[in-house]
Structure 1
Amino acid sequence: MSSDAPRSRDDTRKPRVFKPDDPALTRGDTDSGRDDVDGTPNQTGDPRGTTSGKLISRDLSQVGFRWGALLLSATVGALALSAGLWFWRVVGVGLERDDAIGWLVRGLVAVVAIALLAIVLKEVAGFLRLNRLSRLKADARAAIEKRDTKAEGAIADRLLLLYGQSPERRWAVDRVRQHRSDVLDPGQLLMLVEREVLTGVDQEARRAITESAKRVATVTAMMPMMSLAFLFLIFETLRMLRRVATSYGGRPGFAGSLRLGKTVVGNLIAAGGVALTDDLLGQFVGQDMLRRLSRRLGEGVFNGALMARIGVASLDVIRPLAFGEGRQVRVRDIVSEVFKWRREATKS
């Protein structure tokens, strides 16, 4: 019997004629390999051999992860529900009491209600201010298209009333009021308002965009985790949009900033990649040079350029007048300033 085993092994190792596309080769690979190693056929009947053990382990790990996620979500939900029930129970018991604790609970509930009402009113006022800018822009576009000097005068009065409340713009507003009687041609009055009043507002908005781009370029270059950098980018974007809108007289709340951000991103998507590459393509060479020195430094500059692009796109949404005679803010100028600032910071 002992002499038959070597002889059968030699028989299985003889040269054979086969076709490369024979599907039986794939099925017989593992079995033949198993027989060659230990001399016994595969007792499990599984042509995959040891692979089935790996697949079973992978399936078990996936099932365990799903049950763990279900356990975690159920635990968090139960804790949140219990905390809410405990809070309402404490408030209910406190409101039923007629001693100092009861009056303290009533005072705290009143403060919470007043704060919520103030927040809601603030958000509503922010939406109204943004809608005012949108209506001004739509009315100005219609007046220019119709060449209606009377409508232009009414829009100019609304703009002067809006920006005349700011001490920094009062001199420019008075200058427009002094020279508006000299303007006779259609469209010239709004161009005068843009040149005298909105130019200063554009500079203030550009400073806000540049500062946000520099801040993003610096912080995201130092962030150890990409998720933290992404959260900071969202936070800084909302902050920048609020500052730009405040410069033009919008001053939205948190919900208004979210709505404004949604509108700006929608405009960027509608404009497509041409709007992005038109201003940023010339800066990628320098950004690539920074990436060669430091990968994080190059990513920071790119994030700053993206912030500048979002800020400039927000001007088309927030600005009450479309860019005409005034010099339009360009992404390339802001990115050049950020690039120069980062290069000087790297040298120092």
Structure 2
Amino acid sequence: MSRDKYPDENTPETNGVVRPLPNPSTGSANPSASLPALWGYLQPALDHIVRGPTTNTSKAPAIEVSYHMGVHTAVYNYFTSQADSGLPHAPPSMSGKAVADRRHQDVKPSGTDLYEQLDRYYAGTTHEILLGAPHDDSNLIHYLLPCFQRYSAGAYSVNRLLNYVNRHYVKRAVDEDKGWLRLADFFDAVAKSLQDNDARNVIQRRLREKRVEELKKWGWYEGAPSEVLARTEASAEAASSPDRVVPLSSMALRRFRTEIIMPLLAVPGNKKGGKKKKPPAKGDKAVPRGRLARAVKELLEGEAHDPDERVKTAGELAVMLRTVGIRADQPLRKKLDKYAPDT
């Protein structure tokens, strides 16, 4: 890339184009030596991709090719060194007795600490987005949709950058029944039909049937193209609880749901000792008490919005709710789904 395109090294953005982030100098330090060292190497890339300022919210800022390769190498080396030792990286100052004590503890699979650190990163990022939300409900949707577009673009980019985590850690966890759909979710129903000689076949068949049943709730249908299958499974993954292991993009979308959408959907409870609100008089329309529901009501019923823009915005909200794992029977999603562009 020509240097002429970016005449000022201290300007991160020129003519709407963000310069790729260069590979930070690590000196003689080994970024795969420990989780703090690895995270110190990764975090500038994550901040640039997920949180960096840009005028194009649908495309995440890039990092230089050398940095991309360095991240892949550092993550690969970190995972393999953990696998070789059978233990998470211990600080150099840890005594021999302490290391021996750790060997008697349950050891998590290699990569667990990095996966959990990424989850905390997304939880913190989404919490900051929520804190930045305007107090005026009329401006909430116009804040939320660009934030979601920018955040999800970054999440998908990080998913590609750290795909080794998906291939090494997430796939193995799913194979070990730690994914978004687990045998325990429907074991009682399966157990009633089990016979000693066909238990394995029955379990595998019922697992496939349950997966199809769940994906249909997210829009999958027989004969659907592969992109529909990928989209519906990603929504099902994002709808899972935080203890379920899912791909990094679905983890990020799940945090957008748990840290932003769910608080905005929540109905405030009555303060202790406070008076209960009277029900609306006959003929009066009930006012939604959740912030997002109030904002949607104003969008759909207010006179300040252009009709075409209203439909477009409602459709974008419907897609956002589905993408982050809000289920189809949730009242606000049911109201918005009729505006979704693919329905």
Instruction: Name the TM-score, length of structure 2 as normaliser.
Output: 0.24
Instruction: Name the TM-score, length of structure 1 as normaliser.
Output: 0.23
